[in-house]
C-alpha cells in the first residue's frame, strides 16, 4: 500500500535494526483516514471469503480491526490481555510472549463471540515474531471457526512471524512488507511478491 509505505518512510523512527516506531500515525496518535483505508484494502484483498468476523488483540490492533469490520460490514472482537472481573469463565486462551514488552501473558476471548460457523479474518498492526498472531490463530482453530487469513498492517519480513504462520497453513496479507531497515533507509518488498 503506497500511502502506508510513504508514511513509514517519512515518519517511521528506526530504534534498532528490529524495532520501528510509528507513534505519529499508527501506534499512539492514529491517522483515522489512513486506518480506514487499511480496512478497505483488507476488505478488497479478502473479498469473496464471506468473512463474518474480524479478530484482533488489544491495544494497537483495535483501530485496524474496526476499520476492516466497517469495510466488510461485520463486527470485530479483540482478544484481552488481562482477565476482567466481568469476564465469563468460558473463554478461549493462548499464552503469548511479547517481543516489545518482554513478558508472557495470557490472551482470552469469550466463547460467546467466536465459534463454529464463523469465517474469521485476523488483523493486527505488526507481524513481527508472530507470537501474538500465532496465539490468535490457535484460538480461532480451538473455537471451531474457519480462519480465512491474517492481515497485518506492517510486516517485518526479516523476523520469524511469517514463517511460523505459513507453517500453520495460514494465508497472510501485509499492507507494507519491510525486508530490511536501518536509520534513514527502509527497504520494502516488491508489490508483486506479496
In angstroms and rounded to an integer, the radius of gyration of the C-alpha atoms of the chain is 16
Q: Does 143 help bind ligand G4P (rule: CB under 6 A)?
A: no
Q: Is 132 annotated as a binding residue?
A: yes
Phi, psi of 174 (to 5 degrees): -115, 140
Which is nearer to Na ion, 23 or 73 (by Cβ)? 23
State the residue number with the nearest CB to Na ion. 60
Q: Does 61 help bind Na ion (rule: CB under 5 A)?
A: yes
Q: What is the DSSP string of 21-33?
A: E-IIIIISS--HH
Q: Does 132 help bind ligand G4P (rule: CB under 6 A)?
A: yes
Q: How many CA atoms lie within 13 A of 36 on its CB side?
A: 5
Stretch that binds ligand G4P, among 13-21, 68-76, 138-146, 184-192 (CB under 6 A): 13-21
What is the total residue count of the chain?
Answer: 194
Which is nearer to ligand G4P, 31 or 125 (by Cβ)? 125
Q: Which three cell numbers stand for residue 188?
A: 520494502
Q: Is 163 annotated as a binding residue?
A: no
Give the span between the Cα atoms of 80 and 60, in whole angstroms: 12
Q: Does 56 help bind ligand G4P (rule: CB under 6 A)?
A: no
* Closest alpha carbon to 55 in 75, 38, 76, 81: 76
Q: Considering the complex, what minimum distance in angstroms separates the CB of residue 18 from ligand G4P? A: 7
Cβ–Cβ < 8 Å for 172, 166: yes
Instruction: Give me the 64-103 binding string for ligand G4P, x by CB under 6 A, dash otherwise.
Output: ----------------------------------xxxx--
Q: Is 128 annotated as a binding residue?
A: yes
Q: Which three cell numbers stand for residue 57?
A: 488483540
Q: Does 158 help bind ligand G4P (rule: CB under 6 A)?
A: no
Give the span between the Cα atoms of 194 and 191, in whole angstroms: 6
| Positions that interact with ligand G4P (CB under 6 A) | 19-22, 27, 57-61, 98-101, 124-133, 156, 161
Give the residue numbers of the binding site for 5-phospho-alpha-D-ribose 1-diphosphate.
128-132
Amino acid at each position: 500500500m503506497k500511502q502506508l509505505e510513504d508514511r513509514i518512510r517519512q515518519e517511521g523512527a528506526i530504534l534498532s535494526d528490529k524495532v520501528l516506531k510509528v507513534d505519529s500515525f499508527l501506534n499512539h496518535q492514529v491517522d483515522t483516514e489512513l486506518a480506514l483505508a487499511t480496512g478497505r484494502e483488507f476488505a478488497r484483498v479478502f473479498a469473496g471469503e464471506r468473512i463474518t468476523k474480524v479478530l484482533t488483540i488489544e491495544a494497537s490492533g483495535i483501530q485496524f480491526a474496526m476499520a476492516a469490520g466497517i469495510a466488510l460490514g461485520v463486527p470485530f472482537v479483540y482478544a484481552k490481555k488481562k482477565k476482567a472481573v466481568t469476564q465469563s469463565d468460558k473463554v478461549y486462551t493462548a499464552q503469548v510472549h511479547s517481543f516489545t514488552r518482554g513478558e508472557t501473558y495470557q490472551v482470552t476471548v469469550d466463547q460467546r463471540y467466536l465459534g463454529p460457523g464463523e469465517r474469521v479474518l485476523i488483523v493486527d498492526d505488526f507481524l513481527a515474531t508472530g507470537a501474538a498472531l500465532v496465539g490468535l490463530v490457535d484460538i480461532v482453530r480451538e473455537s471451531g471457526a474457519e480462519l480465512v487469513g491474517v492481515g497485518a498492517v506492517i510486516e517485518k519480513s526479516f523476523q520469524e512471524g511469517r514463517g511460523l504462520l505459513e507453517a500453520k497453513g495460514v494465508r497472510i496479507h501485509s499492507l507494507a512488507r519491510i525486508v530490511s531497515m536501518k536509520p534513514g533507509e527502509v527497504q520494502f518488498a516488491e508489490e508483486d511478491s506479496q
